[in-house]
Amino acid sequence: MENKVKVIVEKVTTIKQFDYLIHLKILDRKDMEKLNKLRVTIKLERLDLEKNDVLEIKLSENQYNFKHLKIEDYKIVSRNSDAELAIILCKILNISKQSAQNISRSCEKNVFEKIINSKYLEHDFGIDKSEAEKIEENKNNLEEFYDLLNNIILLNLSFLEIFKMYERFQESTKAVLFSNPFVFIEEIGYDKALNIAKIVGFPLNSMEHAIALLINSLKEEAKNGNLYMDLDNLVEKMKEKELSIAMINKAIKHAYSKSLIYISKDGKVTLIQTYKTEKNTAALLEYKINNTNINIIDSKKVEEFISEFEESNSFSFSDEQKDAIRMFAKSPIFILTGGPGTGKTQTAKAIVELSKRFGYTLSLACPTGKASARLSEVVGEYSSTIHRALEIGYFFTEANREIQEDIVLIDEMSMVGSFLFYELIKNISDNSKIVFIGDVDQIESVEAGNILESLIDSGKIPTTRLKKVFRQAEGSKIVVNAHKIKNNDPNLEYGDDFKFVRKETDDEIMAHILKSYKYLREKLGYEAKDIAILSPTKKTSIGTHELNFQIQKHFNKSDDFIISPSGIKFSPDDRIMQNENNNEEGIYNGTTGSIAFINEKSVTLEFDDGAWVDYFKEEFFNTVIHSYASTIHKYQGSEVKVVIVPLSFADKNMWNKKLFYTALTRAKELFIMIGNEEIFKDYCMREPEKRRTLLKEFL
C-alpha cells in the first residue's frame, strides 16, 4: 500500500519550544478514503513548516491507537506565504493591498473557504463596507480560482503559480495546462512544466518542449551571471532531455526565425531581449562618449582646485589621483577604479567638491542602500540607491524618472548588473557628465553581466586605475594582503590586523569562532555591530544559518523571545538585517541593526543608521534575518571593523579569488580567518570563471 500522502498545513501551534502541533488537511480524495479522515494532526520537535505549505508525508506502518498521525518523514512540495496570498486576494477581489494583507494574516485556516462562505465580511475580517462590497462582486472569480487550485494543486504547484496561470487563461487554465504544459513555462518554470508533461503524457520529443528547454537553458545561464551560451554547449545541454538532434536543430532555427533568440556569426546564442539590452546599452554609451555638449572644466582652474584642496585638507594627491581629477574634468564619461588604500574615496570627494565649486548639480547613487549611506558619509552629499534615483521598484521595472543633474556619480559599480545598467544609462540626461567608481577586483553583481570590467576592457571609456598604496595604508596587513591577492601572490603577511588560526574540522572552526567572538566582545570591547562573520554560503555546517544559530545561542540568552513559523528564534539585542527594501521607511535591503523590543503584536528595530521601525510580527518574519553572520554577496558594499571568515572543506568549491578579496576588503581594523590554509591556497586563489557578455564586443 502506498504510504505517501499529500497534505496542506492549515495551522501551526507551538506547545512549547521544540514541541509543535501541525494541523493538516488531506488533499487527495483517495487518501481521505484510505485514512477515513479529511483532517489530521502530527507532532514535530523541530519546525520548518508554515501555514499553507503543501507537504508529502510518509506514513509510519502502525497508525492505530494514536491521537496524532505517525509519520516517518516529510518533504515540502510548495510554500505559500501570507504575502503571496495577499497578492492573490488583492488582484482577484480588487481590494486594497492593506485589506488583503489583513485578511491573509487573520485566518488561522483556509482563507479562500472562509471568504467564500462568509456572510458577514465586515465583521469576519474587520474591513470597511466598500471593501466588503468589492469582495461580494468578485466572489465568483475567487470560487473559480479556488476550484482550479483544488483540481491541480497535487501537481506540486504553489498558490501563486496557479494564480499566474489563472490570470492568463481564466476558466480555460486546466484545459490549456493538460493540452500543453510548456505554455506555462514563464509562470511555473521548466522543471514543473516537464514534470506535468510526463504526468499527462505530453510528447517530450516535440517542438513545444524543445522551444521551452531552449529558452529555459538561456535563462538558467543568466542566473549564473552569463548572458549567452556557445551554440555547441547549448545543443549538448538540450540533448540531455529526451530530445533528438533533429528536433533541437529545428527548434533553434524556429526560435531564431521568430526573433526569440539571437545567434552571432561565431555561434553565441542569447535571448533576443538580452541581445537588445546589450546592443542598445553599447549604442547609448557610444553616443555619450562622443557627446560634445558636455561641460569641460578649464584645465587651469582644475590645477588651481587641486592645489587648494591639498592645502585645505593637509593632504597630497598622488599623480594617479591628479590624473583622475583632470580626466573627469574633460570627459563626458569617466571610470575610476582601484583597490583599498589607493585613495579612491578621497578622489571621489575631490570630484564632488570640484563639481560644487563650479555650480554643477549632483546626483550620487549606489546599487544598495548600505553603500549609498556610506558614500553620503564620506563625500558629505546626499546619495540614494539607483532604484530610488530612477524611481523603479526593487524588482526590475522600467524607470519613471530621468536623472537630469549636471554630474551623475555612481559608486560600487561592480555590483551593477546588465539590465539595471541599461535602465540607468538610458535615463541619464544627454547633458550629464557621468562618473563610474568601483573596484573591478570585487565579485560581480548578483544580476547577470559584468558591467564594470566590460566597460574598462573595451578601452572606449577614459579610465584611471589607482595603484599606489598610501603610506598610512602601507602598514595595514589587510591592505597589503588585498593587493597580494590581486597580484596572485598567495604568501600572505600576518600582523596585528590580519590573523590566521589553523583548524581542521568544522567543529573546531565553529568552536574557535565562538571563542574569538567572545574575546572580541569581552576583552577588546567591540560591540556586536562591529563584527561580521562572512561565509560564501548559507546552508553548510559552517554556513550563515548555523553560524547565526550558534552565536545567538551562546551570546544572547534572553528569556524574551519569539519563534518564527520556520522555527527561528529572535530575541532583544539580536543582530538583524533588512532582507528586502522598505521604501516607506527608507530602510534598504542589507541595512543592519538590532532588535530593540518585542511587543505583543510587533517588533521594534533600531538600525545602525539611527532609524527606528516597528513591524507586525508576520511582516518582521518575512523581511528580517539574523546578521551575526552574512554571506559575502550580501555584505558587499558594506564595511565593518572586524571580519571573521571560516575556511571549511564543506565550502571549498564556492571560493575563488574575487570572493575572498571581497570578504577581506570589508574589514576596516581586523581580519581573522579560521580553518585550513590549504583551502586558501588551493581554492581562495582560484580565478573565477569569466562571465560571458557581449557588451565589450558591441562597444
Which single residue is written with the C-alpha cell 516535440? Answer: 206
Per CATH, 294-468 and 477-684 having the same topology is answered: yes
- If one compares 273 and 617, the residue with the highest pLDDT of the two is 273
Q: Which of 33-42, 86-95, 213-222 has the lowest mean pLDDT?
A: 33-42
CA distances from 511 to 501, 506, 647 (A): 12, 8, 13
- Separation CA 324–CA 84 (nearest Å): 49
**Gap between the Cα atoms of 481 and 217, Å rounded:** 39
Residue 17 has pLDDT above 70, yes or no: no
3-state SS of 160-204 is HHHHHHHHHHHHHHHHHHHHCHHHHHHHHCHHHHHHHHHHHCCCC
pLDDT at 179: 95
pLDDT digits (tens, 9 = 90+) for 574-609: 999 998 877 677 777 788 999 999 988 899 999 988
Summarised one tens digit per residue, pLDDT across range 163-216 is 999 999 999 999 999 999 999 999 999 999 999 999 999 999 999 999 999 999
Q: Confidence class of residue 358 from pLDDT cuts 50, 70 and 90?
A: very high
Residue boundaries of the structural domains of the chain: 4-78, 82-196, 203-278, 294-468, 477-684
CB neighbours of 333 closer than 8 A, spacing ≥ 6? 285, 288, 289, 433, 434, 435, 436, 461, 462
Look at residues 226, 578, 534 and name the one whose alpha carbon lies nearest to residue 394. Answer: 578
Fold of the domain built from segment(s) 203-278: Arc Repressor Mutant, subunit A (1.10.10)
- Helix ranges restricted to H, 265-318: 272-289, 299-312
C-alpha cell at 87: 497578492
Question: H/E/C letters for each residue in 193-247?
Answer: HHHHHHHHCCCCCCHHHHHHHHHHHHHHHHHCCCCCEEHHHHHHHHHCCCCCHHH
Cell of 391: 524611481
Q: Which CATH superfamily is domain 477-684 in?
A: P-loop containing nucleotide triphosphate hydrolases (3.40.50.300)
Distances (CA, A) of 496 to 475, 476, 516: 10, 9, 15
Q: Which CATH number fits domain 294-468: 3.40.50.300, 3.10.20.30, 3.30.1360.170, 3.50.30.50?
A: 3.40.50.300
All three cell numbers of 559: 528569556
pLDDT above 80 (res 399):
no
pLDDT tens, 130-175?
999 999 999 999 999 999 998 998 898 999 999 999 999 999 999 9
Residue 1 has pLDDT above 50, yes or no: no
Q: How far apart are CA 627 and CA 575, in angstroms?
A: 5
**What integer is the mean pLDDT of 400-411?**
92
What DSSP letter does each residue of 256-278 carry, written as one string? HHTTSEEE-TT-EEEEHHHHHHH
Contact assessment for residue 647 and residue 679, using Cβ atoms and an 8 Å cutoff: yes
pTM for the complete prediction? 0.85
Q: Is 121 helix (H, G, I), strand (E, B) or coil?
A: helix
Q: Give pLDDT, residue 480.
A: 93
pLDDT at 395 over 60: no
Q: How far apart are CA 433 and CA 439, in angstroms?
A: 20
**Between residues 513 and 124, the one the model is more confident about:** 513
Q: Indicate the average pLDDT of the chain.
A: 90
CATH number (2.40.50.140, 3.40.50.300, 2.60.40.10, 3.30.300.90) of 4-78 reads 2.40.50.140
The pLDDT tens digits of the residues spanning 470-515 come to 755 667 999 999 999 999 999 999 999 999 999 999 999 999 999 9
Q: How far apart are CA 567 and CA 435, in angstroms?
A: 46
| Among candidate residues 74, 65, 24, the one with its CA nearest the CA of residue 46 | 74
* Strand boundaries in 314-432, DSSP class E: 333-338, 362-366, 383-385, 407-410
The Cα 19–Cα 16 span in angstroms is: 5
